Amino acid sequence: MGSFNIHPDFQNEFSYATSPLDPEEFRRQGHMVIGYLADYYQNIEKYPVRSQVEPNYLRSHLPDSAPCNPEPIENILRDLQKHIIPGLTHWQSPSHFALFPCATSTAGFLGEVLSTGFNVVGFDWISSPAATELENIVMDWFGKLLKLPGSFLFSGGGGGVLQGTTYEAMLSTLAAARDQMLRKIGRNNIGKLVVYLSDQTHFSFQKAAQIAGINPSNFRVISTTKDDEFSLCPNSVRSAIIADVEGGLVPLYLCATVGTTLSTAVDPLGPICNIAEEYDMWVHVDAAYAGSACICPEFRHFLDGALSTKPEILRNQATDSKQVVDYKDWQISLSRRFRALKLWLVLRSYGVVNLQKFIRGHVNMAKHFEQLAAMNKRFEIVVPRKFSLVCFRISPSAMNQNCKILSTEEDVNLINQKLVESLNASGHVYMTHGVIGGIYFIKFAIRGPLTDYRHVDMAWTLIEDHAEALLKAS
Amino acid sequence: MGSFNIHPDFQNEFSYATSPLDPEEFRRQGHMVIGYLADYYQNIEKYPVRSQVEPNYLRSHLPDSAPCNPEPIENILRDLQKHIIPGLTHWQSPSHFALFPCATSTAGFLGEVLSTGFNVVGFDWISSPAATELENIVMDWFGKLLKLPGSFLFSGGGGGVLQGTTYEAMLSTLAAARDQMLRKIGRNNIGKLVVYLSDQTHFSFQKAAQIAGINPSNFRVISTTKDDEFSLCPNSVRSAIIADVEGGLVPLYLCATVGTTLSTAVDPLGPICNIAEEYDMWVHVDAAYAGSACICPEFRHFLDGALSTKPEILRNQATDSKQVVDYKDWQISLSRRFRALKLWLVLRSYGVVNLQKFIRGHVNMAKHFEQLAAMNKRFEIVVPRKFSLVCFRISPSAMNQNCKILSTEEDVNLINQKLVESLNASGHVYMTHGVIGGIYFIKFAIRGPLTDYRHVDMAWTLIEDHAEALLKAS
């Protein structure tokens, strides 16, 4: 039968030379793209930080339909440089101070590259045992770094999983809590379930609760105040729960935050979890921003009191699976990348000591920025800094020095809005803003892997100059 | 104020030389990993296709906690080769015939590498205009390749989005359908909503429906038969809907499939969509497997009748957003990678002509395998082949030739189960199995980027040899 001969159709159809994964072509193009990215990082300060293009800029530069014939990588990279780069907001720029960390590191990048290259789909153990087992191991490493209770580690009968996004972590725990409760009180009572959050909780949580079928009229958004530094007040939580129970509703789930998106506020986990325990509720701690800072002993106390309410959920799952974990059952999607490779490479390449240094470096640069702002009476800090985000604005008194008539809070908000817009339009820096307790403020987040004191100082000088010009014109 | 001087703390804290994104170090390590992966592809045939490790093999090879100090990339790659590679099932091996496509291509890889390198989070337009606009453009390219109605394209007032997984596509449309209906019939009637699927629909759909809060007793799983080649029968769909309406329930959503996971069955979209339209239901077409084949004109007819039921949903979203699309509102998570880069690179690097060639190459190799199986009377094809999956088994007659007493269907199932297990344990190939209509069968899926006729022929010889040995021993 000639099993080992090349089939005659083969030459005309698809040959190694044109295989989409020909190793030598892979090597050639791979090196080219690594060089392209290294040059990109080298030159990143030359680009405007926030893209300056107008809506729908790209359509006129690209054809209307997919090319029929193949094009060489050189042409594609040329178009990338010419048409795509101007439409990027450069998140790795050292002067990108907007939003929250999304820092690229060489080790993290290589972890993703290896995961993409192996392209295994680790939804169950056998689909690639190493993908599951390495995740078990590095989740225990990470749990130990955060000094979680032993019962949260695989080695203590618990276990962890790398979710793709915060939203997925919220949705999967919310659905588990919901179904556990509905088994007790009956499927038809889904309309009675209540979830609790603060007015500072990330909006992903309401989206997750909506997708999970919780009635939006049962989202209890608890107000925070400046006096509490915009963190959840345990008494308000208790009052809300009591009112719901008296109204015949069923308290289900509370979302607490360590490091809110707007001002990095930290909810008091201990008292909140005690209340939740009384009412047999689930607590989810969203530490998407500040969680990583908790690998430094000086920030670890922010997690105290958490992570002890319902560890039995994970314990049961680990137990049920006997010898191994099938991660598809620990998340909402079936497919998953070999995510653990990235965390493994980052932890090994930098070591705990350098990761702590990196976080402390960012916090110290934020302190430095805070000191610069404090030295200039035209500015004020809006909420106390906890990590590496500084919330500041042009102060009302600076406005009043320049104006003949007393400025309203609205005037102050307006000049700060103009300030952030003019800074971002300059292309030299990128910042975002927030509104808290009626106050419009500017968020200066230290987050880039390439950011150093030089960039912070340059940003501050730019802020002073733009503020000066706006105050003079007002 | 010396804004441009280096801060004195800087030297002791974090310097460019140790920056996690130092461009020269990135270049050096990046080239090393590209070389590592190119060598991996070159040598991939030397590894057992399915990992042969035992559960919990990895823990003894790795330390209990994260290293305190950094380690060089050379050590990490050495450990990767020594401890991780044996625990991989090699999805890119040319002899991996299990499950469904997950083919790595150089262009797809480079698209992901560039996306990882830029590391922009394209949740709204301004976060990186090019990420949104390139996705708009390539989705139109892809829609045209599939010959979708113009109203499904951005250029026709519709639009598309790249979802992370099939599950996400199902959940987001299901939640939209649910909330649209609940606005009409009232939130408290969530328990009345019914979803329809077949016994061949991928299990992700039931998981999505459960997460969306649909009562599991309202999942109508419609049985398929061998006579219908395991596709949904329109009459059965209609009967189920009528019974539910008479019972006071509300038909909401039907999940049809083009290319089922078990046997690549194709549901008759035209008749099914007509019924759904009568009852004002949503239809989701899961074409995760066979959708890409529909870029070849000879397979395109499988999509006929679909994709015209509810185009107004997407139209509204595009209209609401006026000038631009914020993709965060088109998916369930907030964060998203620069996904369009990958599709753009793949379409340009290969051109439509080569992508069609690639798909036809796989289909032709599956035909070739089917012919080999047909020539050997010991085997039979279980369901007709449509794309590049062949469902086969040792036939009952082969069993009866070897046995003194007549084999039961259970005996036939058992020997086929033994066959797939012994093939996978050999390390030379990897296949999975299915059970349909009580018949245990083996799935031979052509899916790898490096697979050619040589590997198909080798696999067939191996199957014959192992079957021969098992039949002799039985």
Residues B391-425: pLDDT tens digits? 999 999 988 876 667 789 999 999 999 999 999 99
- Residue range B23-52, pLDDT digits in tens: 999 999 999 999 999 999 999 999 999 999
Interface contact A7-B128, CB threshold 8 A: no
Interface contact B109-A30, CB threshold 8 A: yes
Lowest mean pLDDT: which of A298-302, A313-317, B136-140, B301-305?
Answer: A313-317
- Residue A173, classified by CB atoms within 10 Å of its CB into exposed (0-12), middle (13-18) or buried (19+), is buried
pLDDT at A187 > cutoff 70: yes
Q: Is the dihedral of CA B147, B149, B150, B153 positive or negative?
A: negative
The complex's ipTM works out to: 0.88
Query: What's the pLDDT score for residue B402?
Result: 65
Question: Is residue B439 helix, strand or coil?
Answer: strand
Q: CA nearest B86 in A: which residue?
A: A130
Taking the CA atoms of residue B259, residue B262, residue B265 and residue B270 in that order, the dihedral angle to the nearest 10 degrees is -60
pLDDT at A423 > cutoff 70: yes
pLDDT at B19 > cutoff 70: yes
- Residue range A241-279, pLDDT digits in tens: 999 999 999 999 999 999 998 889 999 999 999 999 999
In chain B, what residues touch A50 (CB-CB under 8 Å)? 126
- What average pLDDT does the structure give for chain A? 88
Q: CA nearest B39 in A: which residue?
A: A23
Rounded to whole angstroms, what are the CA distances from A248 to A192, A242, A283? 8, 10, 21
Contact predicate A247/A271, CB 8 Å: no
pLDDT at B130 > cutoff 60: yes
Interface contact A351-B66, CB threshold 8 A: yes
Interface contact A19-B449, CB threshold 8 A: yes
In chain B, what residues touch A37 (CB-CB under 8 Å)? 26, 30, 113-114, 117
In chain B, what residues touch A110 (CB-CB under 8 Å)? 29-30, 33, 73
The alpha carbon of residue B205 is apart from the nearest alpha carbon of chain A, in Å, by 10
Better-scored residue on pLDDT, B18 or B465: B465
Query: What's the pLDDT score for residue B182?
Result: 95
DSSP label of A455: H
pLDDT at A320 > cutoff 70: no
Q: Helix count (H) and strand count (E) of chain A? A: 15, 8
pLDDT at B317 > cutoff 50: no
* Amino acid type, B343: L
Query: What's the pLDDT score for residue B444?
Result: 95
Interface contact A27-B34, CB threshold 8 A: yes
Query: What's the pLDDT score for residue A73?
Result: 94
Strands, DSSP E only, in B158-225? 193-198, 219-222
Q: What count of residues does chain B have?
A: 474
Pick from B5, B117, B179: CB nearest A109 = B117
In whole angstroms, what is the distance from residue B287 CA to residue B264 CA? 10
Interface contact B89-A335, CB threshold 8 A: no
Query: What's the pLDDT score for residue B202?
Result: 92
Contacts across the A-B interface (CB distance below 8 Å) = 487
Interface contact B65-A30, CB threshold 8 A: no
Query: What's the pLDDT score for residue A402?
Result: 65
Of B358, B360, B357, the C-alpha closest to B449 is B358
In chain B, what residues touch A109 (CB-CB under 8 Å)? 26, 30, 116-117
In whole angstroms, what is the distance from residue B444 CA to residue B370 CA? 10
> What fold, for A347-473?
Aspartate Aminotransferase, domain 1 (3.90.1150)
The alpha carbon of residue A227 is apart from the nearest alpha carbon of chain B, in Å, by 31
Q: Is the dihedral of CA A91, A94, A96, A101 positive or negative?
A: positive
Query: What's the pLDDT score for residue A95?
Result: 93
Q: CA nearest B107 in A: which residue?
A: A20
In whole angstroms, what is the distance from residue B12 CA to residue B268 CA? 68
Interface contact A56-B323, CB threshold 8 A: yes
In chain B, what residues touch A215 (CB-CB under 8 Å)? 187
In whole angstroms, what is the distance from residue A363 CA to residue A374 CA? 16
- Residue range A441-464, pLDDT digits in tens: 999 999 888 999 999 999 999 999
B289-297: average pLDDT: 87
B281-307: average pLDDT: 86
And the tokens for A448?
């880039």
Contact predicate A283/A309, CB 8 Å: yes
- Residue range B345-388, pLDDT digits in tens: 989 988 999 999 999 999 999 999 999 999 999 999 999 999 99
Which residues are CB-contacts of B72 (< 8 A; sequence separation ≥ 6)?
none
In this prediction, what percent of chain A has a pLDDT beyond 70? Answer: 92
pLDDT bin (cut points 50, 70, 90) of residue A302 is: confident
pLDDT at A281 > cutoff 50: yes
pLDDT at A422 > cutoff 90: yes
Interface contact A20-B204, CB threshold 8 A: no
And the tokens for B318?
């595009």
In this prediction, what percent of chain A has a pLDDT beyond 90? Answer: 68
pLDDT bin (cut points 50, 70, 90) of residue A334 is: confident
Q: CA nearest A2 in B: which residue?
A: B457
pLDDT bin (cut points 50, 70, 90) of residue B322 is: low
B327-343: average pLDDT: 80
Mutate to test the interface with B, among A141, A147, A192, A348 (most CBs of B within 10 A): A348
Give φ, ψ of B390 to 5 degrees. Answer: -110, 125
pLDDT at A8 > cutoff 80: no
User: What is the CATH number that goes with domain A121-337?
Assistant: 3.40.640.10
Mutate to test the interface with B, among A10, A15, A26 (most CBs of B within 10 A): A26
Interface contact A351-B137, CB threshold 8 A: no
A226-239: average pLDDT: 95
Every domain range in chain B assigned CATH 3.90.1150.10: 347-473
A318-341: average pLDDT: 72
* Complete edge-to-edge strand list for the sheet that includes strand B439-445: B379-383, B389-394, B439-445, B432-436
* Complete edge-to-edge strand list for the sheet that includes strand B282-286: B219-222, B193-198, B250-257, B282-286
Lowest mean pLDDT: which of A230-239, A288-297, A414-423?
Answer: A288-297
Query: What's the pLDDT score for residue B315?
Result: 39
Q: How many CB atoms lie within 10 A of CB A397?
A: 12
Every domain range in chain B assigned CATH 3.40.640.10: 121-337
Which residues are CB-contacts of B88 (< 8 A; sequence separation ≥ 6)?
A118, A120, A128, A129, A130, A131, B47, B51
